[in-house]
Amino acid sequence: MKIATNQKLIKRNSRIGQITSLVALGILAAGMYITFKMPEKVGYSLGALLFGFFLSQMGMYYGNRWGRSPRPDEVLDKSLKGLGRDYTIYHYTAPAPHLLVGPSGLWVLLHYYQGGIIKYENKRWRQKGGGFIQNYLKIFGQENIGRPEIEGAAEVNSLEKYIKKVLPDIEIPIIQVAAIFSNPKVELSANDSPIPAMTPKEFKEFIKEKAKENPLSQLTIKAIQDILPSPEAETKKETVT
């Protein structure tokens, strides 16, 4: 499997997360100092604490997505290793953050690291358990599952517009979406989900079967691969056997 990753973007956003977290700690410390040493300046202390909290949430978001290892791109690369040279996976170089192109078609991959019991029932995603850290992050809105089907549809729409603009004469193949849950402690129950939701190992076997059912033509695969990654992105290409 060939890999194209925008390493420059990853390094930049990881650095943003680190700097933002450090600045947040400094502002929070200043707010606490004002609170105890200059209680008459309550407005300043409150402003510093609120701003510091906002920056800490921003730093946490960037840190979880870009600074924590394994990152989503690393998890997907490792789990899909061995698919073969007909497949290429693109990380942060296309309108969709994670895009797999190959005989099984075009797949927008949504990565989630939530653990615990995750269900799709009554047209809603629900999560239970996952440990203290996961629950803490969920309370502050950093690790909510949200609506994968809506997020995926938006990414598919952006990708379709991009392909149509660059290759106006090609018949765009159906772009599919899959939610990949990589936490080893996850328990999935999402058979009724509008998009496939599975672990990385399950997804690898799933797309192998898809390629057998109705494989995408080599001409279409090559046409799509030739326009990705986008020329504007600085990428690193490598091959995983």
Q: Tell me the pTM.
A: 0.81
**Residue ranges per structural domain of the chain:** 7-67, 72-239
Is there a contact between 99 and 109 (Cβ–Cβ < 8 Å)?
yes
The amino acid at 74:
E
Listed range (61-75, 117-131, 181-195) with the worst mean pLDDT: 117-131
pLDDT in tens, 57-71: 888 888 878 888 889
* Helix (H) or strand (E) segment spanning residue 204: helix 200-213
pLDDT tens digits for range 185-201: 889 988 889 999 999 98
Give the Cα separation of 150 and 136 in Å (integer). Answer: 25
Q: What is the pLDDT of residues 23-51, one digit of tens each?
A: 999 999 998 988 888 888 888 889 999 99
pLDDT at residue number 199: 92
Report residue 130's pLDDT band, with 50, 70 and 90 as the boundaries. low
pLDDT at 171 over 90: no
